[in-house]
Every structure is written in C-alpha cells, then in structure tokens.
A and B are shown apart, each in its own frame.
Chain A
Amino acid sequence: MAKRPPRGFNARRSQQQRIDWDKPAPASTEITDPATPTPQSRPVGEVARHIRSQLKADPQLTDIWIEGEVRSFNRSGAGHYYFDLADAKTDAALSCAFFRRQNRGMQVQQGDQVLAHGSADLYLARGSLQIIVDDLRPIGEGVLQAEFERLFRNLNAEGLFNPERKRPLPTYPRRIGVVTSPSGAVWHDIQQVITRRWPLTALTLSPCLTQGGGAAESISLAIERLNLLTVDAPDLIIVARGGGSPEDLWAYNEEPVARAIFASDIPVISAVGHETDVSIADHVADRRAPTPSAAAEIAVPDRAEEAARVAGLRQAVDQVIDNRLIRMAQDAALSRDRLERAVPHPPTMRIEINRRRQDLEQAISRQLALLRAHQTTATSRLTALNPLGTLQRGYAIVSDSDGEVVTTAGKLRADQQITIQFADGDVKAKTLSVSTSPKESSRDR
C-alpha cells in the first residue's frame, strides 16, 4: 500500500527540513517566570507535521473504506486522479488523491457511487487534508466483499497462498493446539471427535476471541503462543470457529490472522464457519477443513481402522510361522520315507535306524510342542483362518511324491503315489483315476 505523496510535496518538505524542520521545540528555559507562563509560538511546519503524525496514528483514519460519490474528478497529465468524495445527504466532502500506480488507468467518472480504500494524510504544502486512495470499487460490491478481495489480491501477490508452501500434516500428531473460544460448541466438538478417534494424542487449547473488536489480534496471538511453547509443544494446530454471519466470521479475513498462520512453524488446519464459507485464513492454512469437526477428523487417524491394521499385521506374523510348521512336518515325513527306502535291512541296522528315527521324531515333536506352546494364546483368535485350523475342520492337504502340495486335480495322474495330510496324521495313497471338470479346472480354488 504505497501512499506516496505528489512529487512537489516531497521537494517542499525537504527544503523546509533544511531550515528548521528537525529542530527541537523551544526549550523550557525560555519561560523565565513559572508563575506567569508566556504563550509559545511554533513554526508552521512543526504544527503541520504534528497534525500529520496524529492523522497517521489514528486507526480510524488508516486503512479504511469510505463510501461516497465522485465529484470534481480531475486526471493529471502524469495519470494521477484527484477528486472529491462527497456525501449527498450531509453535504460533506473529502478530497482524494488516487495515484497512477494504484489507479492503473481504471475508469472513474463524475457521479460514480464508489467505495474507496485508503488513509488520511495532510498535504503539507497546503495544509489540506487528503485521502490517499489505493483501491476504488463500484459501491454495489459491499465493503466486506471489497475488503476481502483487496486483501486476497495483496496476500496472493505476496505468495501467502502458494500451494508449494503447504506443509504435510503429521500422520500421528502427538499434541494438537486448538485456537478457538473456550466456551463455544466448537471446542466441545473437537474434544469429542478426538476422544472417539484418537485419544492417543493430547490437546492444548489456546483460547481466543472469535468475533468482535480485537478478535483478529486475539486469534493471531493465540497462534503465536502455541508456536512459542518449548515444553509439550504441539505438532499440529487447528484454527476453528463455528458458523455465523459474514460479519461474525470477519476476523478470519483480517490480515493479522493471515500473517500469524503464515508465520506459524507448526502446520495449521483451518475450519471457519460452514462448508460454504471460505476465509482468507483458509487460503493461508496448510489444510482447509469444511467444519471444525471435520478439522478434528482430518487431524488424527481413526483408532478402529488402526486396530484392524494391527490385527492384520498380527495375522500375517502368525501365518508365516504356520506355513513354516507345515513345511517342517512335510519335510520330516519325506525324510523318513527316503531313509526307509535307501538303506538295506539287516537286523542291526534296522534297530539303529529305529532308534535314530525315534530321536528325530522326538526332536521334531519337541520343537513343534515348543512352537505350539508359544503360539497357543496367539492363534486361538485366528484359528479359523490358519491352515492348521483348516485341517482340524476336516480339510486335508494333498502332496505328491516330491512333497509338493497339490491344489488341483489336474496336477495328478492315475496311479500316482500321494500323501494326504490330516490334522492328526498322514495317509499314503495311490490315485485310481483323475477327472477334472472343464469349467472349474482352470479356476483358482
């Protein structure tokens, strides 16, 4: 918002400065008798400068929107606009300067009803009050809309809404700072949602005003306070407010709030009003939620979903061990067969073999018993799902003479030796004939 005075103005001012501008006010030593103070005279420049600083310090005269009718419109050769803003009802008028840099050659005419944005200033050369205008709009738009657009345009140009600035939110936030009113339904709703979905986190309420005078400053301070925490610092912030009229929600369209969100080191989710209300704060935030409850949902995972995920991991762990057990049992059976087939059968050898076989079987069953003992508690809930449970329900596993598990009839021929594994033991068998049904043979059973 450059409020640059006309060129002549500056020149004049600096000239005066060289003479007496910055001299301190006449010292009190001039007053000889304290009982009879004499009036002091002051240079014009000093008084004018004082008036000017008073004007600039007054928030009621700085960054304001003024509504009125354009009169005495005059366009200078350099492209600056000079005009009066008049109020037909009260017959009041303010002279305005709208410089080329800001007016960009826009069409303005005598008699236009407009909203002008700017600040009061004193034109020192004439001692006349001027409004230095930096934005002008037709009156139909309404002040709030005009201000929203003005700020949106400025902040957007500055890069506050850039998508590449948006930061990722933590998947499992340890602590969430909540910037809202301590008394409203919003704070209650957020606690409810977080309690239901993810009570593993912690909440820090940073209370603030959510509407009315001072609300924007209060909100931005509440955001800053969360960023200043060194102990129990949050890793996510929710800035939230419930629904209301555009005027109620206005603080979230003010510059201090936008700046505070932009400056926050902690990622921010904003949720202001209802789904259809999109505030400046929403544009700056790392993530926008349509409502405060939705912000809480976005902020944390769901513990029911997480419980299912953990159960799935557990099931996979059980499955790996189950598969390993089945493979061991099959390998053991296979080794026993090979051993029996491979050796000659003199009586002494037979005894030795039997002894070793018993040792081997005992060793295997000890390992199995050990594993099962570890596993009993673990698998009971999942029994119905794992292959051993399946065997106990009456199903059997068929393997061929190489010990490969056979899952389709098509893999077998007639007169082939197979092993059928039941829950309580194995059966060696020979196939009589194989018939596959053409429809189902190709399907994965």
Chain B
Amino acid sequence: MTDEPERSYEETVEALEQVLGELEDGGLPLDKAVDAYERGVELSERAQKLLTDAELRIDTLRSDS
C-alpha cells in the first residue's frame, strides 16, 4: 500500500464519519445516498486494511556530531 500518497488512517476515519453524517441527515436523493453508501463501505474497508496491514517503521539518528 505504498503506490500513492494515500490518506492517513485519521483522515480516512474522518471521511467515513462525514459520509455517515450525510446519510443520517436523510436529505440525499436515492442515487446520491447509494453513492455515499458505496464511499462509506470503501472507506471503512480501507481503514480496516490500514489497521491490519501496518508495519512499524524505525529509524535511528546518529548520536555523534
């Protein structure tokens, strides 16, 4: 999952919360609601994938200089 500068976990969950808010508002016409639903599904799957696939990266600074 390094192919593009992707959304962080934090941003993904924020977007998911926003989609849920739009759906709960109930103002969306059916086709827009279906779009929003699809986006919600995609975002939640992406967030879960970030949580499962993450690998800790570790650097060490030089202590001299």
Determine whether the beta carbon of A313 is less than 8 Å from that of B61: no
* Total A-B Cβ pairs within 8 A: 107
Interface string of A277-290 (1 = CB under 8 A from B): 00000000000000
User: At the interface, yes or no: A195 with Cβ under 8 Å from chain B?
Assistant: yes
**By the criterion of a CB under 8 Å from any partner CB, how many residues of chain A are at the interface?**
44
User: At the interface, yes or no: A208 with Cβ under 8 Å from chain B?
Assistant: yes
Determine whether the beta carbon of B63 is less than 8 Å from that of A310: no
Q: Which residues of A contact B63 (CB under 8 A)?
A: 206-208, 218, 222
Q: Which residues of A contact B47 (CB under 8 A)?
A: 306, 310
Q: Which residues of A contact B19 (CB under 8 A)?
A: 317
Q: Which residues of B contact A198 (CB under 8 A)?
A: 54
With both beta carbons as reference points, the residue of chain A lying nearest to B37 in the complex is identified as A321
User: At the interface, yes or no: A153 with Cβ under 8 Å from chain B?
Assistant: no
User: At the interface, yes or no: B2 with Cβ under 8 Å from chain A?
Assistant: no
Given A320-B24, A374-B38; A200-B58 close (CB under 8 Å): no
With both beta carbons as reference points, the residue of chain B lying nearest to A195 in the complex is identified as B56
Taking the closest CB of chain B, its distance from the CB of A103, in whole angstroms, is 43
**By the criterion of a CB under 8 Å from any partner CB, how many residues of chain B are at the interface?**
32
User: At the interface, yes or no: A378 with Cβ under 8 Å from chain B?
Assistant: yes
Taking the closest CB of chain A, its distance from the CB of B19, in whole angstroms, is 7
Determine whether the beta carbon of A317 is less than 8 Å from that of B44: yes
Taking the closest CB of chain A, its distance from the CB of B3, in whole angstroms, is 17
Q: Which residues of B contact A225 (CB under 8 A)?
A: 61
With both beta carbons as reference points, the residue of chain B lying nearest to A202 in the complex is identified as B57
Given A207-B63, A310-B16, A314-B41; A200-B34 close (CB under 8 Å): no
Given A199-B55, A316-B20; A172-B44 close (CB under 8 Å): no
Q: Which of B42-65 contact A (CB under 8 A)?
A: 44, 47-48, 50-52, 54-61, 63
Which single member of B16, B20, B56, B60 contacts A199 (CB below 8 Å)?
Answer: B56
User: At the interface, yes or no: B4 with Cβ under 8 Å from chain A?
Assistant: no
Determine whether the beta carbon of B61 is less than 8 Å from that of A203: no
What CA separation (Å) do A194 and B57 show in the bound complex? 10
Q: Which residues of A contact B9 (CB under 8 A)?
A: 172, 200, 306
Determine whether the beta carbon of B51 is less than 8 Å from that of A306: yes
Determine whether the beta carbon of A202 is less than 8 Å from that of B58: yes
Q: Which residues of B contact A208 (CB under 8 A)?
A: 63
With both beta carbons as reference points, the residue of chain B lying nearest to A367 in the complex is identified as B30
Q: Which residues of B contact A258 (CB under 8 A)?
A: none
Determine whether the beta carbon of A313 is less than 8 Å from that of B13: yes
Q: Which residues of A contact B41 (CB under 8 A)?
A: 314, 317, 374, 377-378
Given A222-B63, A317-B20, A320-B20; A203-B58 close (CB under 8 Å): yes
Q: Which residues of B contact A218 (CB under 8 A)?
A: 63
Q: Which residues of A contact B23 (CB under 8 A)?
A: 317, 320-321
* Closest CB pairs A-B (n = 10): A314-B44, A317-B40, A202-B57, A199-B56, A199-B54, A320-B23, A200-B54, A207-B63, A205-B60, A172-B10
26 CB-based A-B contacts, threshold 8 Å? A172-B8, A194-B56, A195-B56, A200-B8, A203-B57, A203-B59, A205-B61, A206-B61, A218-B63, A222-B61, A232-B59, A306-B9, A306-B13, A307-B52, A310-B48, A313-B20, A313-B40, A314-B41, A314-B44, A316-B24, A317-B40, A317-B44, A320-B37, A370-B34, A374-B37, A374-B38
